[in-house]
Structure formats: C-alpha cells, structure tokens
C-alpha cells in the first residue's frame, strides 16, 4: 500500500520529507511538493488506510504544512488520486485492487501531470507529452477508464510501446518499484587529543586514523570525496581550517592523507593542535571503463597526489595546463589545473579559445558575428601536422640589452646577462610596432605596452626577437627563435 | 645447500634489479616493436629512428641556441598528445611560449607544464622561496635542483608517455655539477615503463644505453628584401642521430615553418 502526499504551494520540501520519514523509511520524492511512501505494514500501528492518511495529514499540519493525502494499492494510483482530489478533500483512500475502477472517471489530462512530476535524474521513463493527450482527445477519449479499456495491441500498433505504458498507468499500474531516497549522511570524524601536538609527523598518524574509517564509510556507500575539509582546533582557541577540492571522487585513504598533509605543509597551523576534525563532502563514485586500445592515463588519485607534490615543490599555480587568454599582449597566458580527459575525447581539430586571429564573419542574414576566436591550430598545422613549426623560447622577464643603432636599424646587440655575449647583427627585420593596454588608466607592469619589435640573427648564429620600449627607449631581448 | 643459498642470493638480486650486467641490461639490438617506440610524426626522422624515440629510455636533444631544440621538442609533444597520450615538460627557467605550444598543435589539456623559476635582470625574482641574496650561479643551481626533483616526481607518478626536462639555458658549469648518478636514477625509474624521457641541453649530458642523442643545428630562413617586408619564414634543421647501440646513426634534414602568428 502506498500513500502520496501533495503539499500546498510554497511548502518546504525538506519538511515534507521529514514528515514522510516519520512514517516510513521508504520515501521517494516526486518533485518539490510531492512525496510517495510505502505504508505497507503500518496498519498494525495506526489502523486502516484512512487512519494512516489522517495521521499523515495531522502530522504535517503539526509541522505547519497543508497537505492532501491519497492512499492506494499502487504508487501511480495514489499519485493520480492526490492530484485529482479537490482542496477540500484532504484525504482520499481506495482499497487495494480497485485502482482501475477508481481511476476510471478521472480525466485523461492527469497522465501529463503524472509524467512531468516524475523525478528525472533517477528514472529514464518517457514523459507523457501534451500532444499525446491531444491525440487521445481527438480519438474521443475523455477519461482514464476509456483509455484503459482500449485493446492493448491496437494501442501498441498506433502509439507504440509508450502507448501501452500509458495505458497501464491509466489502469493505475506502477511502471517501476519505489526508489527510496537515501537521507544525506555526514562523513565526518573528530578526535580530541589528550596532549596538544605540534608538527606534521604526529599529525599524519592522527589524520590516518580519522581518514581510514571515513574511507571505509565512503566505500560502503559507493561514494567518493569531492571536498576534503580539515579543521584543526588550536591551543590558542583558533580554528585552522583547510578545504581541498579534489579533482575526481577519491576515497583512497592514503591519497587523502597525503593530500591533506601536503596542503598543511604549505599552510601550517600557527600553534599546537588540540582537536582534529576531518569531514568529506561525498559525491557519487567514479565508474571507470578502461580501454584495450589506448594506453591508460594516470588515475585521479595519482594525478592529484602528483599535483599536490609539484605545487609544494615549485610553488602554487606553477604547475598545470596552459590556457591561452584573449589578449594581444605578447606572451600572455593563464594556467588551469591539469586534468586530462579520456583518450576517446581527443579531437584532432580541437580549437583553442584563443590564438591571435580575430574572426569577424558575416552570416547569410547580413548580421555580423562579433565573436572573437583565436585558432591556436593554424591552418598549416591542420593540413600538415608533421611539418614542425618554429618555436620561440620566451623570457618571462625580458632581458635588458644594449643595442647599437646605425641608420635606424640595429647593428649590434649586447647583454650583460651571464652567458650572453651578443654580437653583430647579420640579418634583421622590423620594426613592427605593437601596443595595447593603453586604455588602462592605472599603468601597471605588463598591462600596457608600446614597443617596436625586431627579429635579428646575430653573428653567433642565433636568431632573437628584440624590442624597444617606446616610452623608456630601453632595449630588451624577448626571446630566442629555437 | 650451496645451490639453495645461490638461488636465494640470485632471487634477492633479481628483486632489486641488480642481477643485470652492462650487456644484459641493454635492449635487443634490432628491436622492431612499434609499441616500444614513440613516433615523432616527422616522417624523415621516424624513418631514420626506425619508428621513433624508445620508451623506457633516456634520450637527449642537444644543440646551441636557435638550433631547433624547442621546435623538435614541441613537435614530439604534439604527436604524443594527438595520439591521446599525455606529456609533461619540466620548464626549468619558465621559457615555454604558449603561442608556440598552440602553433605546434599540442593539445594543452594533455600537456603538464611545470614552470620553474626565472632569472630577471635584478637577479632571482618571481618566486617567494627564491632567496634574493643568492648569487645568480647559486640561484641557477637551486632552480636546476628543484627541476630535477620535479622530474623525479613526474616519472615516479608514471602514466606519462613523454616527459622532457628543459635544461637548454643552463650554464655549462651548472650542468657539469649535476651528479651523473642523477641520470642513472632517472633511467632506473623509467626502465620498463612506457615513458620516454628526454633531456634538452646545450651539450651532451646523459643518455641511457638504449636511448638516442639528437644533435641539432639549424639555419633560419628569411624572406623579403626590405626591412619591413623581411621576416622569418622557417628554419632548416639538421638532426644528427647518435645511438651506437641501436645502430640508427645518420643525419636528417627537416624544414620547419613559421606559424602565421609568429
């Protein structure tokens, strides 16, 4: 036996779930205002269906909710009835086995309401579209009973398997069993220390002791950690809190402990620790399907540990994947976390978001497409991927140079940098004027530039890109063609 | 009894990979297993290398400035990422140009870029842990040590098809101070794995017995007569391959082109 509880508009869904859970652990949410629950076996506790429904309504009223309740032998029948009942009919109860006859007089449009009220993510059942009910009305059908009485094979011939499904719904039959909603669990462990601890080495044992049961708990629930929170209560009454966003659902205890320790190495607590709390935000576990045809990538656990170690060694933000930015500033780039996708996602012509070419296309309607896209995969690369493209080694901080000019062109480049001898200019090209960022009111280093660029080949055989800053008249080496 | 003790000793040596002599540790002379090679996607070079760089070996790309070391490195990485594998580069002095990475056709999502520290005109800068009172040579040594540690971490993590460390701008004095055992350790880590490790350096530095040395020279190609119309249109690279063990010695000429955004 099932009960459907439909709350008035504006009712909080959490309270509605709490009311339902007071009666049965098998509760399924059907939208924000409706729940269905399995009330089988409650007859011994409360009495018949009418008493159960009245008790449900009374409990909801105690919590400040105005609800309509329907009790029937199937979930579908209960839901149809609760949607059809008038606001004055707070309780509707039908005997199990009489669903088809009880629903016979209900309007056929109710099926559409039932279809849209199904929770989508968990059920992949077909929604009942409005055109379907329009079709049925054109056939002259007005009630669920009329639809239920049609020959199933004729319905299947005209509407397909979906039509047969809807006919079953019209008879009040369930398409699937109830899927109970699992209440949210807290994945948290805490430990009060008898003696305050200092340093990360003793803390690693404490973290291991706390994370291992959490990891086992996550495994039992088929969950992985999305965020790892470490709260350290210090002897100074302060709370040192760190939160780690995990790149993939992780529940391996060693990995989680290593990540927490590496993060605390970079951000150590300021005093001794009194109490340690570890909490994990759960997320559905990962389903991994390896391929026999491609080489496996490192697991997210391995990658996140590697990235944490590299960040600790090289500095925060110095390891990851490069991202081109939408700017003409020479050498502009950004970094993002390194998270390679599966090999099956590799597209040969995958475009970058930026590459340096503004495309202003005109569509057929004569309207300009103002999108700016830069292709880092130049046409030449796409056409002949095995032709190497000349690269530049770029100095993140341009190297100051002394350049002798003769008749407007550089003839000698010298730098005081260790290992740089410089030399006579044998071939040169330029200047190419470049400027940008001048609209920035506050002049900051790197935000605005105005310069003349030259490419020069020196007597040492190397080809350099040099430039002259127009406002300071200073020369710099920007990079080496290599 | 003696035989039993010998067997125990041999198994202990085998477990620690100490049972190999110099010759038995080497790969077979004429290995034609294509899965053990990582193609460069440059047809002429792949033909010369009998398929590409060997996986599980330490190879090196050497040459002076403007010899095409970075061009070749990025081309190999592009080939790796196009196959769906992932690559990593330890950029010792943070000299990688993102536009060049894009122009080479590298999938940036599949390239782990580990940026070292850079040396600016006023000495060490740009990183909090860099001590401002260190001299340039000491700072360079510190940066190189850190880059080598990063290389170790990446290789130990595994799963990367291609891992490169860029030591191209490191001074000779600093390079000679790197203990040779460093490279032996690197070779021990990647031995038997699918990772091809490549050093980019100005001079021959280290190469495992089964690895290759690609010695580069290049000449820039210019087009145009007037100053403003003249520009670099590419470079002619000459790759001399040295690997006595694999018998792939030879010279290959490669024409590199300049990208439109160059």
Q: How far is CA B83 from CA A14, A126, A344, A445, B77, in A?
A: 49, 39, 10, 40, 10
Cβ–Cβ contact A409 with B under 8 A: yes
Output DSSP code: residue B34: G
Is A295 an interface residue toward B (CB < 8 Å)? yes
Contact A380 B262 (CB under 8 A): no
Q: Nearest-CA residue of chain A relative to B96?
A: A393
Contact residues on chain B for A297, CB-CB shorter than 8 A: 86, 159
User: What are residue B50's phi and psi, to 5 degrees?
Assistant: 60, 35
Is a pLDDT exceeding 90 seen at residue B166?
A: yes
Q: Does A288 touch chain B (CB under 8 A)?
A: no
Minimal C-alpha gap between A381 and chain B (Å): 6
Backbone angles phi, psi at A31, to 5 degrees: 85, 180
The sign of the CA dihedral A72, A77, A81, A83 is positive
What's the CA gap between A231 and A228, in Å, rounded?
10
DSSP class of A62: H
Radius of gyration of chain A (CA): 35
Q: B9 vs chain A: nearest CA distance in angstroms?
A: 33
Q: Which domains does chain B have, with CATH numbers?
A: 30-257 (3.40.50.300)
| Cβ neighbours of A364 (radius 10 Å) | 5
Comparing CB atoms, the residue among A331, A378, A392 nearest residue B260 is A378
The residue among B32 and A63 whose pLDDT is bigger is A63
User: How far does A269 lie from chain B, in Å, by closest CA?
Assistant: 19
What's the CA angle centered on B231, arms B227 and B234, to 5 degrees? Answer: 155
Q: How many CA atoms lie within 13 A of B124 on its CB side?
A: 19
User: A447 versus A383: which is more confidently predicted?
Assistant: A447
- The band of B59, judged by pLDDT with boundaries at 50, 70 and 90, is very high
Query: Residue A84, CB half-sphere, CA atoms under 13 Å: how many?
Result: 23
CA–CA distance, A335 with B113 (Å, rounded to integer): 9
pLDDT in tens, A180-208: 887 777 899 999 998 999 888 899 999 99
Is residue A210 over pLDDT 60? yes
Q: Round to whole Å and give the CA distance between A455 and A453.
A: 7
A395 vs B: CB within 8 A: yes
Rounded CA gap, A435 and A57, in Å?
72
The answer to whether the beta carbons of residues A282 and A221 sit under 8 Å apart is yes
Average pLDDT on B186-206 reads: 90
Read off the tokens for A54. 């009245």
**How many Cβ atoms from other residues are within 10 Å of residue A470's Cβ?**
14
Interchain CB distance below 8 Å, B105 and A389:
yes
In this prediction, residue B33 has a pLDDT band, given cuts at 50, 70 and 90, of low
Would you call B169 an interface residue with chain A, using a CB distance cutoff of 8 Å?
Answer: yes
| pLDDT confidence bin for A141, thresholds 50/70/90 | confident
Residue A72, pLDDT score: 92
Contacts of residue B161, defined as CB under 8 A and 6 or more positions apart, other chains included, come to A295, B38, B55, B80, B83, B85, B86, B87, B194, B195, B196
Tell me what pLDDT residue B120 has.
58
pLDDT at residue A165, as a whole number: 85
Q: How far apart are CA A369 and CA A360, in angstroms?
A: 6
B74 in A contact zone (CB under 8 Å) = yes
Decide if pLDDT at B126 tops 70.
no
Q: Considering only CB atoms, which chain B residues are within 8 Å of A350?
A: 107
Q: Which two tokens stand for residue A303?
A: 């990658």
User: Where does A187-284 sit in CATH, by number?
Assistant: 3.30.1490.100
Residue A414 has pLDDT above 60, yes or no: yes
Mean pLDDT score, A114-133: 54
Do A377 and B112 count as a contact with CB atoms less than 8 A apart? Answer: no
pLDDT bucket at A378, cuts 50 / 70 / 90: very low
| A405 CB within 8 Å of a chain B CB | no
B153 contacts A313? CB cut-off 8 A? yes
Nearest residue in chain A measured CA to CA from B158:
A298
- β-pairing verdict for B213-223 and B87-91: unpaired
Average pLDDT, chain A: 81
Give the model's confidence band at A445: pLDDT under 50 very low, under 70 low, under 90 confident, else very high: low
E strands within A61-169? Answer: 67-72, 91-93
Output the pLDDT for position A370: 35
pLDDT band at A84 (very low <50, low <70, confident <90, very high): confident
Q: What is residue A367's three-state secondary structure?
A: coil
**Burial of A293 from C-beta contacts in 10 A (0-12 / 13-18 / 19+):** exposed
Is residue B261's pLDDT more than 70? no
* Nearest chain A CA: its distance from B63 CA (Å): 10
ipTM confidence score: 0.84
Q: Which of the pair, A418 or A453, is modelled with greater confidence? A: A453
Residue B122 above 50 pLDDT? no
Of B114, B161, B228, the CB nearest to A314: B114
Residue B135 pLDDT level (bands cut at 50, 70, 90): low
Quote the tokens at residue A469: 């800053």
Q: How far is A446 from chain B (nearest CA, A)?
A: 14
Q: What is the mean pLDDT of residues A370-399?
A: 63
- Rounded Cα distance between A156 and A166, Å, is 10
Name the token pair of A175. 């398409």
For the ranges A33-37, A418-422, A439-443, which has the lowest average pLDDT? A439-443
What ranges do the domains of chain A cover? 2-170, 187-284, 392-481
Q: Looking at residue B125, what is its pLDDT? A: 40
Within A198-314, strands assigned E span 223-234, 239-250, 273-284
Decide if pLDDT at B217 tops 70: yes
With cut-offs at 50, 70 and 90, classify the pLDDT of residue A284: confident
In this model, does residue A78 exceed pLDDT 60? yes
Residue B40, CA distances (Å) to A129, A321, B238 in order: 55, 22, 15
| Superfamily the domain A2-170 falls into | Reverse transcriptase/Diguanylate cyclase domain (3.30.70.270)
On chain A, the residues whose CB falls within 8 A of the CB of B67 are 482
Q: Which of A132-136, B28-32, B112-116 has the lowest mean pLDDT?
A: B28-32
The pLDDT-based confidence of B21 (bands split at 50, 70, 90) is low
Contacts of A364 (CB under 8 A, 6+ apart): none
Say what the pTM is.
Answer: 0.67
Q: How far is B147 from chain A (nearest CA, A)?
A: 8
Q: Which of B66, B118, B262 sits opposite A482 (nearest CB)?
A: B66
Chain A within 8 Å of B253 (Cβ-Cβ)?
Answer: no
- Quick: pLDDT tens for A320-353: 999 888 888 888 888 998 988 765 554 444 444 4
What is the per-residue pLDDT across A236-282, written as a single tens digit (0 to 9) for each?
Answer: 989 999 998 887 888 899 999 999 999 998 888 999 999 999 999 98
User: What is the reported pLDDT for B144?
Assistant: 93
**CB of A43 less than 8 A from some CB of B:** no
A204 in Cβ contact with A261 (< 8 Å): yes
């Amino acid at each position: 036996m099932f009960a459907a509880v439909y709350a008035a508009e504006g009712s909080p869904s959490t309270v509605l779930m709490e009311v339902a859970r007071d009666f049965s652990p098998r509760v399924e949410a059907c939208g924000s205002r409706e729940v269905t629950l399995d009330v089988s076996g409650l007859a011994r506790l409360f009495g018949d269906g009418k008493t159960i429904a009245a008790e449900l309504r009374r409990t909801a009223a105690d919590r400040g909710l105005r609800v309509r309740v329907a009790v029937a032998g199937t979930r579908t029948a209960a839901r149809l009835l609760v949607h059809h009942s008038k606001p004055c009919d707070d309780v509707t109860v039908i005997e199990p086995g009489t669903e088809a006859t009880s629903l016979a007089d209900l309007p056929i449009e109710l099926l559409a309401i039932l279809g849209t009220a199904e929770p989508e993510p968990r059920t992949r059942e077909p929604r009942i579209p409005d055109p379907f009910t329009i079709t049925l009305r054109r056939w002259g059908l007005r009630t669920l009973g009329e639809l239920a009485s049609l020959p199933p094979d004729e319905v299947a011939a005209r509407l397909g398997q979906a039509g047969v499904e809807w006919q079953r719904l019209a008879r009040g039959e369930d398409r699937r069993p109830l899927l109970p909603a699992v209440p949210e669990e807290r994945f948290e462990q805490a430990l009060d220390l008898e003696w305050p601890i200092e340093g990360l080495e003793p803390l690693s044992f404490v973290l291991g002791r706390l994370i291992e049961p959490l990891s086992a708990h996550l495994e039992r629930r088929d969950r992985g950690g999305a965020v790892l929170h470490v709260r350290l209560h210090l002897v100074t009454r302060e709370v040192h809190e760190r939160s780690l966003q995990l790149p993939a659902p992780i529940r391996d205890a060693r990995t989680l402990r290593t990540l927490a320790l590496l993060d605390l190495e970079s951000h150590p607590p300021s005093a001794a620790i009194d109490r340690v709390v570890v909490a994990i935000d759960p997320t559905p576990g990962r389903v991994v399907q390896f391929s026999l045809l491609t080489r496996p990538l490192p697991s997210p656990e391995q990658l996140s540990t590697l990235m944490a170690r590299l960040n600790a060694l090289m500095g925060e933000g110095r390891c990851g994947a490069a991202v081109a930015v939408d700017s003409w500033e020479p050498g502009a780039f950004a970094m993002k976390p390194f998270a390679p996708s599966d090999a099956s996602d590799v597209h040969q012509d995958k475009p970058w978001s930026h590459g340096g070419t503004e495309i202003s296309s005109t569509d057929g309607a004569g309207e300009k497409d103002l999108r700016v896209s830069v292709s880092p995969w130049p046409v030449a690369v796409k056409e002949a991927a095995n032709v190497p493209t000349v690269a530049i080694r770029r100095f993140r901080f341009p190297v100051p140079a002394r350049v002798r000019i003769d008749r407007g062109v550089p003839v000698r480049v010298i730098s005081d940098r260790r290992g740089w001898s410089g030399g006579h200019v044998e071939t040169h090209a330029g200047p190419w004027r470049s400027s940008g960022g001048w609209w920035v009111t506050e002049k900051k280093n790197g935000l605005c530039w105005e310069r003349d660029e030259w490419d020069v080949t020196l007597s040492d055989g190397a080809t350099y890109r040099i430039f002259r800053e127009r406002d300071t008249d200073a020369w710099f080496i920007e990079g080496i063609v290599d | 009894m003696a035989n039993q003790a010998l067997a125990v000793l041999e198994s202990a040596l085998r477990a620690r990979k100490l049972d190999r002599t110099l010759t038995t540790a080497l790969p077979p002379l004429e290995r034609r297993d294509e899965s053990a090679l990582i193609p460069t996607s440059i047809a002429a070079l792949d033909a010369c290398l009998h398929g590409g760089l060997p996986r599980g070996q330490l190879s090196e790309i050497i040459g002076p400035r403007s010899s095409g070391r970075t061009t070749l490195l990025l081309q190999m990485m592009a080939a790796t990422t196009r196959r769906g594998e992932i690559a990593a580069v330890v950029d010792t002095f943070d000299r990688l140009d993102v536009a060049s990475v894009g122009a080479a056709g590298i999938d940036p999502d599949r390239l782990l870029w580990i940026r070292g520290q850079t040396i600016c005109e006023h000495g060490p800068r740009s990183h909090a842990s860099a001590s401002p009172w260190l001299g340039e040579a000491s700072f360079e040594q510190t940066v190189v040590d850190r880059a080598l540690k990063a290389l170790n971490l990446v290789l130990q993590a595994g799963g990367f098809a291609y891992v490169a460390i860029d030591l191209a701008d490191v001074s000779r004095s600093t390079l000679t101070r790197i203990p040779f055992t460093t490279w032996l350790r690197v070779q021990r880590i990647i031995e038997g794995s699918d990772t091809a490790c490549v050093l980019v350096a100005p001079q021959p530095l280290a190469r495992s017995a089964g690895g290759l040395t690609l010695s580069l020279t290049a000449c820039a190609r210019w087009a145009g007569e007037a100053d403003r119309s003249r520009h670099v249109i590419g470079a002619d690279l000459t790759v001399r391959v040295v690997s006595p063990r694999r018998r792939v010695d030879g010279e290959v000429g490669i024409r590199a082109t300049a990208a439109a955004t160059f």
